[in-house]
Structure 1
Amino acid sequence: MSGRVERCKALVLRHIDYGESDRIVSFLTAEFGLQKGFAKAARKSRKRFGAALEPFSQVVVHWGSGRGQLWSLQEVELLNSRSGLRTELERLALASYSVELVELLLEEGEAHQQIYELICAFLDYLSQAGDTACARLLLELRLIYLLGYIPHLLHCSECLKIFADEPVRFDAARGGSLCLQCASGGGIEISLGTIGSLARSLNVGHQQFSGFRFGQRTLDEGGRMLSQVLASVLPRSLKSVKFL
């Protein structure tokens, strides 16, 4: 790659100021996964970078080999700033939450096109004033599904009994849904309606967020379920969750 300038589409996750005028920028790309780039004189050069390094922006990155694992950013073209995210604190907080989730769940340099598509679609939906509660539930569910962490939903994770019209418990540490006999008083109570809604939503494309209308019970129960799952796979607690 030495001497060559590569280009790819990317999502800006965050940036930090470095020195007097430089920036280190974190990106998510479909081809190269999580990456960091060094933008020399970014706070002075409007021509090469402009406002393209702001978080949640969709961009085209032109880069070459740099210091260690850092890309040397030559130019960044802005495609979509997603300015709608900055009109409400709730949307901005949820966008920041999605970025932190991705940074903790993915290894640096691990390409995952579907995760890239999912996060971009999620931010697009949020920036267009979509339903934040439904969007968060779908984002969390699809992330754990695409990364292979999806729990058992429609049958008991221990005896494999398919649920009919009966109470259900849920315990992420034991694999997911549990019948009452296997649960033995453990886990949290979940309705069949909730686990059915979550399971059915996985049959829809991972980039679709519009058209979903979850009831409050599904949002509450589903949120508790997915919080358990995420807590079991994340390396640390999420800093951004306290702002939601």
Structure 2
Amino acid sequence: MGALPQRTEAVVLRTTNYSEADRIVTLLTADQGLRKGFAKAARNSRKRFSGGLEPFTRAIFHWREGRGTLWSLQDAELLDGHYGLRDDIRRLALAGYGVELVELLLEEGEPQPAVYSMVCAFLAYLATGGDPAVARLLLELRLVNDLGYIPHLLHCSECFRVFHQESIRFDTARGGCLCLACAGGSGFEISLGTAGSLARTLKVESDRFAGFQFGELTLHEGQKILSQVLRSILPREPKSLRFLAQL
């Protein structure tokens, strides 16, 4: 008799149709990080997976070991379909960008419980009408921080002098924020207020999205900073980013 199926909570990042009725599912799990599963005859068995294979859904999956690292998915119990995402194209596109970003940044099989909680909160916030600009800034900033790529924000990355009321510049290749004496014209100018806002935001629990208010300058400069950081660490540009930029 084979081993009993194991049980894991996960968010569906992506599904790919395989053969006539099967699906390959990319999951972000609560306890094992990024994993892929094979759902045999999934397109012919709505009852077995109960809508739990759609992108952005959170569900309990029962699985057995399959070939290599691929799980054999047995069934799913839907926890949250995040159906509100379908009501707004911008929020839906941002959700797609967010889960693609996570898939590109994480290593398969490496537990990331904080990232899992963050992604669940990100999707729930968007599905209930959250501000897309705020959601994007928070997700990108926290991913960069949790994965160890956060740049220097409150002091010069080269001379380590703490900033006071002054102009500063930002250059990912040189570690983050720079005083004008060290910058020598490299990077781009940002406000000290933006750097301070980003640093203060990192002190809040990473699964909290509601209640944040950022000014237009912080949103603009923050996205510029995080876009540069992400370009330096991603293996490729997310395919969803081009569509998101058109909205």
Normalising by the residue count of structure 2, what TM-score does the alignment of the two structures yield? 0.97
Q: Distance in 1 between matches of 2:100 and 2:60?
A: 22
How far 1:11 moved relative to its partner? 0.4
In the TM superposition, residue 95 of structure 1 has moved relative to its aligned partner by: 0.3
Q: Partners of 1:55 and 1:204 in 2: how far apart?
A: 28
1:46-105 per-residue CA deviation (whole Å, 9 max, x = no partner) reads 221131100000100000011222111111111110000111110111001111111111
- The answer to whether the aligner puts 1:159 opposite 2:126 as a matched pair is no
Deviations 1:115-134 (A, max 9, x none): 00011100000000001101
Q: Would the aligned equivalents of 1:3 and 1:65 in 2 still touch at CA under 8 Å? A: no
| Counterpart for residue 64 of structure 1 | 64
Aligned counterpart, 2:173: 173
Q: CA RMSD in A?
A: 0.8
- Give the whole-Å Cα distance in 2 for the aligned partners of 1:66 and 1:139: 32
Map 1:16-27 onto structure 2 (within 5 A): 16-27=16-27
Q: CA deviation at 1:106?
A: 0.4
Determine if the alignment matches structure 1 residue 141 to structure 2 residue 104.
Answer: no
Q: Which runs of 5+ in 1 are unaligned?
A: none
**1:39 aligned partner:** 39
Distance in 2 between residues matched to 1:63 and 1:28, nearest whole Å: 14
- Find the residue that maps to 1:63 and give its secondary structure: strand
Other-structure match for 1:82: 82
Structure 2 portions without partners, runs of 5+: none
Query: C-alpha distance in 2, partners of 1:56/1:32?
Result: 18
Aligned to 1:187: 187
Cα distance, 1:39 vs structure 2: 0.7
Structure 2 match to 1:232:
232
Amino acid at match of 2:85: L
| Number of residue-to-residue matches in the alignment | 243
Residue 155 of structure 1 and its aligned partner are, at CA, apart by 0.3
1:200 equivalenced with 2:210 (yes/no) = no
Tell me, what secondary structure is at the counterpart of 1:224?
Answer: helix
- After superposing on structure 2, the runs of 4+ consecutive aligned residues of structure 1 that deviate more than 2 Å are none
Aligned partners of 1:40 and 1:4: how far apart in 2? 18
Identity of aligned residues (%): 62
Residue 31 of structure 1, CA deviation: 1.0
